[in-house]
Homo-oligomer: A and B are copies of this chain.
Amino acid sequence: MEFKVNSKSLEKLLTKIIPAVPSRTPMPILENFLFELKDGLLTIYATDLEIALKSSLNVVAEENMKLVVPARLLYDIVRSLQETTILFQITPGGKINLKTDNGVYTISYLLPEEFPDIPTFPEPGSTSTENIGEVIISGNELKRAIDQTSFAMSKEDMRPAMMGTLMEFTEEGLRFVSTDGHRLVNLLKKEIHLTYNEQYIVPERAISVLVKILEEKDVKILLSKTYISYKVGDIEFITRLIAQKYPDYKSVIPLENENKLKIRTAELLSAVKRMLLFSPTNSRKVKFSITANNVEISAEDIDQGAFAKENIYCEYSGESIDIGFNSAYVNDVISHLQTEEEIYFKLHSPTKAVIIEPVKKKDNEDIMMLLMPVRLNN
Interface, chain A (partner B; CB < 8 A): 70, 73, 76-77, 80-82, 94-95, 102-108, 270-271, 273-274, 277-278, 304-312
Q: How many copies of this kind of chain does the complex include?
A: 2
Q: Is the CB of B306 within 8 A of A80?
A: no
CA distance in complex: A310, B105 (Å): 8
Q: From the candidates B108, B274, B307, name the one contacting A306 in the complex (CB within 8 A).
A: B108
CA distance in complex: A80, B310 (Å): 13
Q: From the candidates B80, B82, B103, B312, name the one contacting A309 in the complex (CB within 8 A).
A: B103
Q: Is the CB of B270 within 8 A of A105?
A: no
Q: Is the CB of B106 within 8 A of A73?
A: no
A-B contact pairs, 25 of them (CB 8 A): A73-B277, A77-B274, A77-B277, A80-B273, A80-B274, A80-B277, A82-B270, A94-B305, A102-B271, A102-B310, A102-B312, A103-B274, A103-B308, A103-B311, A104-B307, A104-B308, A105-B278, A105-B306, A105-B307, A105-B308, A105-B309, A106-B307, A106-B308, A107-B305, A108-B306
CA distance in complex: A141, B94 (Å): 53
Q: Is the CB of A271 within 8 A of B305?
A: no
CA distance in complex: A311, B277 (Å): 57
CA distance in complex: A81, B311 (Å): 14
Given known contacts A102-B311, A274-B103, A73 and B108 CB-to-CB distance under 8 angstroms = no
CA distance in complex: A103, B277 (Å): 14
- Chain B: minimal CB distance from A79 (Å): 10
Q: Is the CB of A305 within 8 A of B104?
A: no
Which residue of chain B lies nearest to A80 when distances are taken between CB atoms in the complex? B274
Which residue of chain B lies nearest to A70 when distances are taken between CB atoms in the complex? B304
Q: Is the CB of A104 within 8 A of B304?
A: no
CA distance in complex: A270, B305 (Å): 55
Q: A73-B304, A77-B277, A102-B310 are in contact. List 11 more A-B contacts (CB 8 A).
A: A76-B277, A77-B308, A80-B274, A82-B270, A94-B305, A103-B308, A103-B311, A104-B308, A105-B309, A106-B307, A107-B305
